[in-house]
Copies of this chain bind each other. A is one copy, B any other.
């Protein structure tokens, strides 16, 4: 019903050969752009392909060359803006290079879950792997399972067993914090991501660096889960405390939840409290107040990951890519610190 010409198998290279009156090998050569083919015969073969609606069989090709033309993506939080954007960019870039992409989502961060996802990808015989939004544990499992293909992390991990894009999240976070310091804030709280995430750790480090440089008192960071709901929860908890004037949230969602909680508590942002986010999601510039945040170009990140990985897969020597430094975007959620801001509002 659905198949137009449901009789048997799809035309093969041999069917094309018969029609074009050449050998199957000649057809193969046309497919692979072999130099020594007479233009005339090439045309004949191409015409035969056209009339037969021939499509090369990737499985057969993979079987004989043992190259699957597929790269794997191991992603967490893949439905949130950042990862989703990078994944889309990876797929686009891969397709451009004639590659396919296979994504495995990490439901939880248990070693079993990670191992399952990796196993799923390995069964597909991927040639390389991109790891998105990685947790520390991911790389341990990856190292342990000795997958035998090159892999690239979207974040600098400090490990030596794989490539990583140089995205200087530490500097990004440091700049965000420094911005608050420059505005006169001396009591800054960090609403961090989950401890075991590479990115969360890098952003926390940047925060700590800035706090240290400015010689501020250290408030114990709050460990969140990246969600706006958690941001709201953390915000309500924070309103009970009166010892800070600014918050640096590890991502925009949490920052938005935070601001919601402050609003509910009758606190003004940035009048009473300044808030900085991270990522610059598309709505960040439209929420009230508009969110000061650290912009990341997720598409560019995805593109570079593919370039780096395919370079590796094809055995090219490692290209030194220049570092990506996220940039601060100052908007309406940050303002000068007021002394005793919190007490003054009551």
Contact = CB atoms under 8 A, between A and B. Distances in A.
A60 B58 contact: no
Contact of A84 (B79, B150, B227): B79
A281 to B, nearest CB: 8
A56 interface: yes
A81 B253 CA distance: 12
A227 B282 CA distance: 8
A63 B55 contact: no
B287 A2 contact: no
Interface in A249-273: 253, 256-257, 259-260, 263
Given A55-B123, A101-B102, A104-B91, A283 B286 contact: no
Given A91-B104, A101-B103, A148-B3, A125 B59 contact: yes
Contact of A107 (B92, B228, B257, B263): B92
A39 B33 CA distance: 51
A197 interface: no
A88 B79 contact: yes
Contacts of A227: 282
A216 to B, nearest CB: 28
Contact of A4 (B4, B148, B256): B148
Q: How many of these chains are in the complex?
A: 2
A197 to B, nearest CB: 18
Contacts of A104: 91, 95
B100 A102 contact: yes
Given A227-B282, A287-B256, A85 B92 contact: no
B84 A2 contact: no
A68 interface: yes
Contacts of A286: 228-229, 231-232, 256-257, 259-260
23 contacts: A2-B149, A10-B66, A55-B122, A59-B59, A59-B60, A59-B63, A59-B125, A78-B87, A79-B84, A79-B87, A79-B298, A88-B105, A91-B104, A92-B105, A95-B120, A101-B103, A228-B282, A229-B282, A229-B286, A256-B286, A260-B285, A260-B287, A288-B288
